[in-house]
Amino acid sequence: MHPDKILVLDFGSQYTQLIARRVRELGVYCELHPYDVSDAFLAEFAPSGIILSGGPASVYDGDTPRVTDNVFMSGVPVLGVCYGMQAMAAQLGGGVETSKVREFGYAEIRARGHSKLLEGIEDRNNAEGHGLLDVWMSHGDEVTRVPDGFKVIASNAATPIAGMADEAHRLYGLQFHPEVTHTLQGKAILERFVRSVGAAAAEWYTPALLDAVVGRTRSGVGCTRSLLQVFRFSASVTACRQWRRNWAGVLRPRRFVNSGTRKFAQEAIQSCLRVLRIATMPTGMVCWTCG
């Protein structure tokens, strides 16, 4: 149902859910899973790109979290954020040490190296014409040596390697957090990775989901489950209006179950459903008539 999708692997950062949310806001389907997924899972999931989250561990302290090596060897674009960048560097032969200057909060970095990930993305220029970014840092360790094949793509005085890239293999690392609003160009950076580097199309939105459901239903596959998924993961009011315009004659819900949606959304959905002469119930089962 989702040919283009992003996989977020979780190392335990407090911002991990936010990464997934930002990707979905770009109109791209995204799933969040633990960092230790298997090679078989990666092959079956077939992501358009992989994002490694931050985390509280230090990569040089004993048996710390690592992803399967196939994450980096499969040819899928990978973006490591904070600890994710450090884990990437350590697994691919780079160096990670305790930072001489720890950064927690706002920082200014210089984008450099003309990488595909950051090229043309900036908040302003310095006197020499170099692009500068306002970002959010939260780290006590840093990459001190990039792996073979990588180049530095961002830096500041406190963190000389604030970003790295192996353009040939589409592997990128950022010491800062693009998923938080304090990184002003964070959305642009994530969009560049997801849409340009990962080539994922923005097709995860209500009309496209409902089109997919109609197609699945006409082929006799997964009607009830698919419909429930659409109304669970889409903007409910928008879904209902779209249903009324285009698909009421193909798929007709017979019950709306109020399972705790926001009051204004409940009222809007019930208004739409009354036009379709669909009963509403506070509790009970959902029955779908398809055909």
Q: Which residues are tagged catalytic?
A: 82, 177, 179
Q: Distance (Å, rounded) from C-alpha 112 to C-alpha 234?
A: 39
Question: 206-218 and 223-233 helices cross at what angle (nearest 10)?
Answer: 180
DSSP-assigned states of every residue in 121-147 = --SEE-TT--EEEEEEEEEEEEEEEPP
Q: Distance (Å, rounded) from C-alpha 207 to C-alpha 213?
A: 10
Ranges of H-type helices in 46-194: 70-73, 83-91, 186-191
- Can you read off the two tokens belonging to residue 111? 């984008």
Beta strands in the chain (DSSP E): 5-10, 29-34, 49-52, 78-81, 95-111, 124-125, 131-145, 151-155, 163-166, 171-174, 251-253, 255-257, 279-281, 288-290
Amino acid at 86: Q
Neighbour-count burial for 61-99, b at 16+ CB within 10 Å, e otherwise? eeebbbbbeebbebebbbbbbbbbbbbbbbbbebbbeeb
Q: Distance (Å, rounded) from C-alpha 84 to C-alpha 73?
A: 16
- Can you read off the two tokens belonging to residue 132? 């500068």
